């Protein structure tokens, strides 16, 4: 067995392990996927960090004001990070109209979401803190379905929901629609083994006391929503996932914006990995599973793409030289006998893994009842499972470059 | 609600089981392929030895018919050629291991050396009414330049063989398989 074969077997093993893990977790919990502990309404402060969100901030505030939750128990704190558009004017209209909507304007632009979020948390008067993006729209019953997790168990520091794409119109948004559904399904499965490693920015509910105890959001990290959960875990707390809580968010409309967002996620993820590297290996879920799982999801594709590039370049070089010599020798470039249609055992492994991946994604989509054919057709699904996922390692390489040269920002 | 910590090692054991089951199955299939391949190799060997003895008898004077000696020589070369192609295909289907392929190549190279010597013998006895092209190449080379060059040479020579099937005796021999007799030539 050569190195390439070994690597292939390793990938197969890891892929198969993750799939079997998901099946083992899913089967006993299949009827509990959408369950959530019933809680009673308690006051919640909702913090919205905002930077140049004039287009969406009004709708976001209105959506939060219309949540199915006692109005007197909701406080909305919008923290403007020195927007250069008319976000502040729009927010002021709401602060005049609603006494429970407050505005804080940061002294200078911080360049991220963590600092304005921390400002909002410090100003919050209630014990439960929800953090929302300015372009996210949780469903009306979101808080009701989330608060029970915090009330039932004092070791729970944060709760997240199923983040889904709102109004997917462009092709890249439709691909993200599939991706978000599959991620939500997987995250719920991880919830059953206490391995929720992120409370995504669009909407998450926290216990204020724990946020203060662990030191609020890390302003240096580009994915403060991942880092905060890892810090919670390092303090012995954990996060939970409410799959029945749907949170709709505006996904990047263009490839360029999507690429930028993913680079930020990868850089933030790598920063977080580096910060918590000493936790590996440990008996804590962070060290035992999350760090290796997260590392694999970030870096395994990079090794794969390097190997793929090496093999592809080598083949292209042979093809180029053969063509060159073919012309010199006045010989045909290729013949039927040169084409090999005999699949090897590694091809079968690859095809099996691909089919299992398709099955898993379809199963997730069916479980989540998100088979809207406007967004999900066979072409989009196949594109997602092949080319879309193959771009991940390229983003990681670009992220590593930016991280190495220090050229990164929110 | 959260009670699935055992899932991690359970998943590991199941994956290990699936992998080991796959390896055992693969091993079983390989063993069955190897025994099939062994039978094929042995059958082919018997046929080749038969041809070899026939040619030796032709060129050593038992039978003086030059034309049929030449025909047998060419048939023998063709059989070696097509047998080798079949084994190459088996190799690409993973029916044969890399080591098996290497041994087979050595065997065929030796047979071709033998064929070469027989052709020289025949030329002495019957005069030259055919051309022998001996083509030395690097087996399984990693050098892309050499690989591409060899690919074209093999196509050119194959064309020549197809164009003049009864006049060209084509003998491609790997020069880097550490065979003493090949090194001598």
What digits encode the pLDDT tens for the residues B150-168?
888 888 888 888 888 888 8
What is the percent of chain A where pLDDT is above 70?
93
Number of H helices, E strands in chain B: 5, 2
User: Contacts of residue B94 in chain A, CB cutoff 8 Å?
Assistant: 344-345
Residues of B contacting chain A (CB within 8 angstroms): 1-2, 4-5, 7-8, 10-12, 14-15, 18-19, 26, 89, 92-94, 144-145, 147-149, 151-152, 155-156, 159
Between A87-97 and A57-65, two packed helices, what is the crossing angle to 10 degrees? Answer: 20
Domain ranges of chain A: 32-289
- Torsion-angle region of residue B140: left (phi > 0), alpha (psi -120 to 50) or beta? left
Q: Tell me which residue has tokens 């905002």.
A: A50
Peptide bond into A281 cis (omega under 30): yes
Nearest CA in chain B to A241: B2
What is the three-class DSSP state of B149?
A: helix
Structural domain range at position B158: 8-184
Residue A148 vs residues A41, A154, B94: alpha-carbon distances, Å: 9, 11, 57
Mean pLDDT calculated for residue range B26-53: 71
A66 touches chain B (CB under 8 A): no
CA B179 to chain centre: 15
Q: Structural domain tally of chain B? A: 1
Q: Say yes or no: ipTM exceeds 0.85.
A: no
User: Contacts of residue B26 in chain A, CB cutoff 8 Å?
Assistant: 345
**Distance in Å, alpha carbon of A314 to nearest chain B alpha carbon:** 7
A322, B152: Cβ pair inside 8 Å? yes
User: Contacts of residue B19 in chain A, CB cutoff 8 Å?
Assistant: 13, 16
A321, B94: Cβ pair inside 8 Å? no
Domain membership of residue B1 (yes or no) is no
Mean pLDDT calculated for residue range A311-334: 74
Query: pLDDT tens digits, residue range A260-287?
Result: 999 999 999 999 999 999 999 887 899 9
The span from the CA of B163 to the CA of B167, in Å, is 9
**Distance in Å, alpha carbon of B15 to nearest chain A alpha carbon:** 5
Mean pLDDT calculated for residue range A11-20: 88
Contact yes or no for A202/A389 (Cβ under 8 A): no
Domain membership of residue B2 (yes or no) is no
CA atoms within a 13 Å half-sphere pointing along the CA-CB vector of B38: 6
Query: pLDDT higher for B155 or A89?
Result: A89
Size of the A and B interface in Cβ pairs below 8 Å: 83
Partner-chain residue, chosen from A17, A35, A317, that has the shortest CB–CB distance to B15: A17
Domain membership of residue B20 (yes or no) is yes
B1, A32: Cβ pair inside 8 Å? yes
**Cβ atoms within 10 Å of B68's Cβ, excluding its own:** 12
Confidence of residue A62 (pLDDT cuts 50, 70, 90): very high
A21, B7: Cβ pair inside 8 Å? yes
B11, A329: Cβ pair inside 8 Å? no
Query: pLDDT tens digits, residue range B31-43?
Result: 776 677 667 667 7
User: What value does the CA radius of gyration of chain A take, rounded to a whole number of Å?
Assistant: 24
Least confident of A87-96, A233-242, A288-297, B110-119: B110-119
Q: Tell me which residue has tokens 């292939």.
A: A8
B155, A13: Cβ pair inside 8 Å? no
- Residue B2 predicted with pLDDT over 50: no
**Distance in Å, alpha carbon of B165 to nearest chain A alpha carbon:** 19
User: Which CATH topology does A32-289 take?
Assistant: Spore Coat Polysaccharide Biosynthesis Protein SpsA; Chain A (3.90.550)
- Residue A339 predicted with pLDDT over 90: no
């Amino acid at each position: 067995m050569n190195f390439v074969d070994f690597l292939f077997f390793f990938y197969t093993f890891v892929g198969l392990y993750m799939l079997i893990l998901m099946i083992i977790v899913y089967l006993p919990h299949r009827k509990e996927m959408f369950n959530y502990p019933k809680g009673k309404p308690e006051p919640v402060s909702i913090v919205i960090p905002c930077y140049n969100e004039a287009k969406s901030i009004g709708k976001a505030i209105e959506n939060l004001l219309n949540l199915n939750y006692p109005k007197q128990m909701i406080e909305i704190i919008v923290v403007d990070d020195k927007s250069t558009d008319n976000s502040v004017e729009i927010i002021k209209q709401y602060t005049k109209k609603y006494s429970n909507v407050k505005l804080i304007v940061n002294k200078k632009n911080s360049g991220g979401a963590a600092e304005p979020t921390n400002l909002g948390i410090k100003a919050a008067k209630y014990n439960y803190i929800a953090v929302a993006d300015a372009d996210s729209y949780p469903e009306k019953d979101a808080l009701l379905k989330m608060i029970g997790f915090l009330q039932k168990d004092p070791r729970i520091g944060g709760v997240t929901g199923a983040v889904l794409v709102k109004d997917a119109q462009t092709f890249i948004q439709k691909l993200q629609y599939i991706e978000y559904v599959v991620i939500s399904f997987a995250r719920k499965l991880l919830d059953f083994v206490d391995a929720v490693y992120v409370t995504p920015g669009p909407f998450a509910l926290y216990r204020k006391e724990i946020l203060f105890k662990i030191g609020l959001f890390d302003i240096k990290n580009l994915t403060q929503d991942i880092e905060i959960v890892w810090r919670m875990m390092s303090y012995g707390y954990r996060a939970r996932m409410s799959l029945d809580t749907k949170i709709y968010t505006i996904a990047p409309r263009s490839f360029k914006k999507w690429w930028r967002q993913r680079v930020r996620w990868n850089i933030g993820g790598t920063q977080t990995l580096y910060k918590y590297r000493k936790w590996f290996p440990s008996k804590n879920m962070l060290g035992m599973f999350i760090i290796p799982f997260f590392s694999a999801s970030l870096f395994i594709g990079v090794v794969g793409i390097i190997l793929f590039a090496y093999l592809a370049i080598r083949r292209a070089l042979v093809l180029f030289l053969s063509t060159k010599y073919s012309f010199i020798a006045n010989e045909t470039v290729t013949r039927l006998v040169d084409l090999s249609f005999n699949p090897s055992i590694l091809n079968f492994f690859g095809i099996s893994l691909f089919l299992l991946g398709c099955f898993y994604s379809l199963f997730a989509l069916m479980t989540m009842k998100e088979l809207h054919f406007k967004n999900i057709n066979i072409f989009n699904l196949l594109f997602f499972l092949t080319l879309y996922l193959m771009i991940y390692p390229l983003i990681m390489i670009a992220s590593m470059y930016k991280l190495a040269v220090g050229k990164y920002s929110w | 609600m959260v009670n699935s910590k055992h899932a991690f090692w359970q998943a590991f054991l199941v994956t290990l089981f699936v992998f080991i089951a796959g390896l055992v199955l693969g091993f079983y299939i390989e063993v069955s392929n190897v025994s099939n391949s062994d039978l094929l190799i042995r059958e082919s060997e018997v046929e080749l030895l038969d041809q070899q003895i026939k040619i030796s008898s032709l060129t050593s004077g038992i039978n003086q018919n030059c034309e049929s000696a030449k025909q047998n020589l060419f048939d023998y070369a063709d059989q070696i050629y097509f047998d080798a192609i079949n084994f190459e295909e088996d190799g690409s289907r993973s029916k044969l291991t890399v080591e098996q392929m290497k041994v087979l190549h050595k065997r065929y190279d030796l047979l071709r050396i033998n064929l070469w010597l027989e052709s020289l013998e025949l030329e002495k006895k019957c005069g030259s009414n055919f051309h022998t092209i001996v083509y030395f190449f690097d087996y399984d080379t990693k050098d892309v330049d050499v690989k591409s060059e060899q690919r074209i040479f093999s196509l050119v020579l194959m064309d020549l063989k197809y164009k003049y099937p009864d006049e060209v005796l084509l003998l491609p021999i790997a020069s880097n398989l550490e065979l003493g007799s090949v090194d001598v030539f």
